[in-house]
């Protein structure tokens, strides 16, 4: 099947490739993500119990705790972070975590802001390739 | 296009030392993410980054401290990962305690004030109306913006300290008056004064509003009582846990909402939602995940218990004893414990069998022994996070419910205020 390409805005640019994990519900990583396992643990969230490590997580935005960034930084250090995060609109929390991970460990991950309609077209299980210009190819 | 002042640029180029350069490089990078045109001054910061999670948070703190970082504005510190004096009474490992203490020390070395509380707005470091501040800690952000009318964006850990070191923030978002207009109108319909007056109401309502709001600023209409400050604190904490609320307006209560029109800055709301008793009952039910009456522990104080809350608790427990099988824990700050002691309202709480944990909380420090499986709390924030973070079942109730349950050794709740009016 031919890949479809979505143009996003790279808040933090980089390359990533992986399986999409998509949710329409905002997520707090503190109280919502176990950086020891890379699993989503928020019992109130539809993805509770699902492992996001290494996948491309499409989540509209962060919610809840300010410590979301610190949990994501720990996840990058532990090798349990998502390979990239796709959002709708600008989410400062995810972008900051990636920027600091780049400074501290030389391991930033792409954070791409998509239009709401493009975001809504994503489905879990699709194969995604994110490039440095914020383009997401979907197949 | 981001325009930096000469001073900003000098800091970025290292003229103010390597720590300021490190911090400014992150502030500038974030200004680009936000699409800011310039940076602006702040006169206060509240730093959430001191909470120890693991090696990364400690390495970040010690990197900044070793570069000689100093905060440029008065800066208070949020909770840490350990109660330095009390951790040995709990399941905290010595390695965790040592690393969490190192992280605390790193931020103290930067000149931040070790308040170690998630309710800094109830200390002498409370900001003022209109003051530009950079605050972390979701409940504190919502309280400062909404109840005080100070102005902060929703700052994440790791950025809050960079703003404190540089004294500068991207000039965006809730720092600017025109971005503070309400967007979602939430109307209470048929919710009687008796429930609004009850101490559970604002926590439950906040939990609901957080879910309704999404990324919008909610305006609440229909409050007919004068809420106590701790009720607004409970609302802020709940809405910032179930949602991403950083600013709310309550018509006739919060300072930027003398009228609906003022709260909306003369605009039309994007949407209007009516909230009824049925909606509130459903929200209350969401906060309880336990299904029986078993009870291992009552936990109060998220955000940290205030002097007024100690005053409310003392007469409920005076002359009584908690059931020997039930732990009763209050999480608070050093300052509040001292004030409660002076006011004579700490002694009855301790005599009841309560333990007091300072500087941290059960969510921020791995305190609970594994045999603690069922909790009861009056905090929507504890109720929201405990099942996920601590793998416990939780029952939400009023302060009086929590005390009565602790005495009886099983969950008991007074349902009367939740019955149809």
- What's the complex ipTM? 0.97
- The token pair at B297 is 């522990």
Does residue A65 carry a catalytic annotation? yes
Nearest CA in chain A to B393: A43
Residues of chain B with Cβ-Cβ distance to A89 below 8 Å are 215
**Structural contact between residues B195 and A107, judged by C-beta atoms closer than 8 angstroms:** no
Decide if B60 and A104 are in contact by the 8 Å CB cutoff.
yes
State the CATH number of the domain containing residue A76.
3.50.30.10
CA distances (Å), origin B198, targets A109, B318, B388, B389, B417: 47, 21, 27, 28, 8
**Structural contact between residues B379 and B207, judged by C-beta atoms closer than 8 angstroms:** no
* Residue A18 reports pLDDT greater than 70: yes
Work out the minimum CA distance from B223 to partner chain A, whole angstroms: 25
Of A48, A71, A99, the CB nearest to B26: A99
Domains of chain B: 6-177 (3.30.499.10), 181-286 (no CATH), 297-418 (3.30.499.10)
Residue B375: what pLDDT? 98
DSSP β-bridge partners for residue B304:
none
Decide if B56 and A77 are in contact by the 8 Å CB cutoff.
yes
Question: What are the strands, taking DSSP E only, across chain A?
Answer: 4-7, 9-12, 16-22, 33-34, 39-40, 56-58, 84-88, 111-114, 127-130, 135-138
Residue B214 phi/psi, 5° resolution? 60, -130
**Structural contact between residues A104 and B59, judged by C-beta atoms closer than 8 angstroms:** yes
Chain B contact present for A49, CB below 8 A: no
Q: How far is B160 from A16, CA to CA, in rounded Å?
A: 29
CA distances (Å), origin B221, targets B169, B195, B249: 32, 15, 9
For A18, the 3-state DSSP assignment is: strand
pLDDT digits (tens, 9 = 90+) for B329-385: 999 999 999 999 999 999 999 999 999 999 999 999 999 999 999 999 999 999 999
**Structural contact between residues B186 and B207, judged by C-beta atoms closer than 8 angstroms:** no
Could you tell me the sign of the dihedral formed by the alpha carbons of B375, B376, B379, B385, in that order? Answer: positive
Residue A1: what pLDDT? 59
3-state secondary structure labels for all residues of B264-316:
CCCCCCCEEEEECHHHHHHHHHHCCCCCCCCCCEEEEEEEEECHHHHHHHHHH
For B207, the 3-state DSSP assignment is: helix
Residue B420: what pLDDT? 64
Residue A18 phi/psi, 5° resolution? 170, -175
3-state secondary structure labels for all residues of B314-355:
HHHHCCCCCCCCCEEEEEECHHHHHHHHHCCCCHHHHHCCCE
Peptide bond into B65 cis (omega under 30): no
Residue B419: what pLDDT? 87
What band does A3 get if pLDDT is binned at 50, 70 and 90? confident
- The token pair at B10 is 């000098």
User: Rounded to two decimals, what is the model's pTM?
Assistant: 0.98
Q: How far is A77 from A2, CA to CA, in rounded Å?
A: 35
Residue B369: what pLDDT? 95
The C-alpha angle B329, B419, B288, rounded to 5 degrees, equals 35
Residue A87 phi/psi, 5° resolution? -130, 175
Domain membership of residue A20 as a residue range:
4-138
What total of structural domains would you count in chain A?
A: 1
Q: How far is A15 from A109, CA to CA, in rounded Å?
A: 8
- The token pair at B123 is 């200390």
Of B159, B210, B241, the CB nearest to A96: B159
- Report the run of H or E that residue B376 belongs to, with start and end: strand B374-377
DSSP β-bridge partners for residue B219:
B185, B249
**Structural contact between residues B118 and B137, judged by C-beta atoms closer than 8 angstroms:** yes
**Structural contact between residues B58 and B194, judged by C-beta atoms closer than 8 angstroms:** no
The C-alpha angle B144, B148, B153, rounded to 5 degrees, equals 35
Residue B370 phi/psi, 5° resolution? -60, -20
Within 13 Å of residue B201, how many CA atoms lie on the same side as its CB?
23
Residues of chain B with Cβ-Cβ distance to A104 below 8 Å are 56, 59-60, 63
Decide if B241 and A65 are in contact by the 8 Å CB cutoff.
yes
In sequence order, the 6+-apart residues with CB closer than 8 A to the CB of B322 are: B298, B328, B352, B353, B354, B406, B407
Decide if B30 and A99 are in contact by the 8 Å CB cutoff.
yes
**Structural contact between residues A85 and A33, judged by C-beta atoms closer than 8 angstroms:** no
Counting one residue from chain A and one from chain B, the pairs whose CB atoms sit within 8 A come to 123
Beta strand B39-41 with A135-138: parallel, antiparallel or unpaired? unpaired
Decide if B137 and A71 are in contact by the 8 Å CB cutoff.
no
Q: How far is B166 from B106, CA to CA, in rounded Å?
A: 17
* Residue A130 reports pLDDT greater than 80: yes
Mean pLDDT by 10 residues, chain B (421 residues): 97 98 98 98 98 98 98 98 96 98 98 98 97 98 98 98 98 98 98 96 98 96 98 98 98 98 98 98 97 96 98 98 98 97 98 98 96 98 97 97 98 92 54
């Amino acid at each position: 099947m031919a890949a479809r390409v979505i143009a996003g805005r790279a808040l933090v640019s980089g390359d990533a490739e992986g399986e999409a994990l998509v949710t329409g519900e905002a997520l707090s990583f503190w109280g919502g993500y176990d950086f020891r396992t890379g699993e989503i643990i928020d019992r109130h969230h539809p993805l509770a119990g699902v492992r996001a490590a290494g996948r491309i997580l499409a989540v509209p935005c962060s919610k809840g705790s300010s410590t979301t960034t610190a949990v994501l930084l720990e996840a990058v250090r532990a090798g349990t972070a998502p390979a990239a995060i796709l959002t709708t609109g600008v989410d400062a929390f995810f972008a900051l975590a990636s920027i600091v991970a780049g400074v501290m460990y030389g391991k930033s991950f792409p954070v791409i802001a998509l239009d709401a309609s493009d975001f809504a077209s994503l489905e879990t299980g699709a194969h995604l390739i994110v490039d440095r210009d914020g383009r997401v190819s979907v197949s | 296009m981001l325009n930096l002042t000469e001073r900003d640029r000098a800091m970025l180029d290292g003229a103010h030392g390597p720590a300021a350069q490190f911090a400014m490089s992150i502030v500038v990078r974030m200004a680009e993410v936000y699409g800011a045109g310039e940076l602006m001054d702040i006169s206060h910061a509240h730093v959430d980054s001191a909470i120890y999670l693991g090696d990364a948070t400690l390495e970040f703190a010690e990197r900044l401290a070793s570069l000689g970082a100093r905060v440029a504005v008065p800066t208070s510190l949020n909770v840490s990962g350990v109660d330095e004096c009390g951790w040995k009474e709990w399941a905290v490992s010595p390695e965790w305690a040592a690393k969490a203490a190192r992280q605390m020390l790193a931020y103290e070395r930067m000149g931040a004030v070790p308040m170690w509380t998630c309710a800094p707005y109830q200390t002498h470091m409370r900001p003022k109306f209109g003051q530009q501040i950079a605050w972390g800690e979701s409940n504190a952000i919502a309280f400062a913006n909404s109840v005080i009318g100070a102005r902060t964006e929703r700052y994440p850990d790791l950025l809050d300290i960079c703003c404190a070191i540089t004294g500068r923030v991207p000039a965006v978002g809730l720092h600017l008056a025109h971005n503070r207009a309400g967007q979602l109108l939430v109307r209470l319909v048929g919710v009687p004064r008796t429930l609004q007056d009850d101490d559970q109401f604002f926590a439950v309502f906040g939990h609901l509003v957080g879910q309704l709001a999404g990324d919008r600023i909610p305006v609440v209409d229909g409050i007919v009582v004068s809420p106590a400050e701790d009720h607004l604190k409970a609302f802020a904490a709940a809405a910032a846990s179930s949602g991403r609320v950083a600013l709310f307006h309550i018509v006739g209560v919060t300072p930027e909402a003398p009228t609906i029109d003022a709260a909306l800055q003369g605009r039309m709301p994007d949407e209007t939602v009516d909230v009824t008793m049925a909606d509130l009952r459903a929200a209350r039910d969401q906060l309880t995940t336990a299904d029986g009456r078993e009870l291992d522990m009552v936990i109060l104080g998220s955000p940290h218990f205030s002097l007024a809350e100690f005053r409310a608790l003392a007469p409920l427990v005076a002359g009584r004893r908690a059931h020997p099988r039930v732990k009763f824990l209050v999480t608070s700050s050093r300052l509040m414990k001292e004030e409660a002691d002076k006011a004579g309202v700490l002694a009855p709480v301790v005599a009841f069998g309560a333990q007091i944990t300072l500087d941290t909380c059960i969510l921020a420090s791995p305190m609970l022994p594994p045999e603690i499986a069922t909790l009861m709390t009056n905090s929507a924030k504890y109720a929201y996070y405990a099942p996920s973070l601590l793998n416990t079942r939780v029952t939400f109730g009023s302060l009086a419910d929590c005390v009565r349950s602790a005495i009886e050794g099983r969950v008991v709740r007074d349902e009367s205020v939740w019955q149809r009016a």
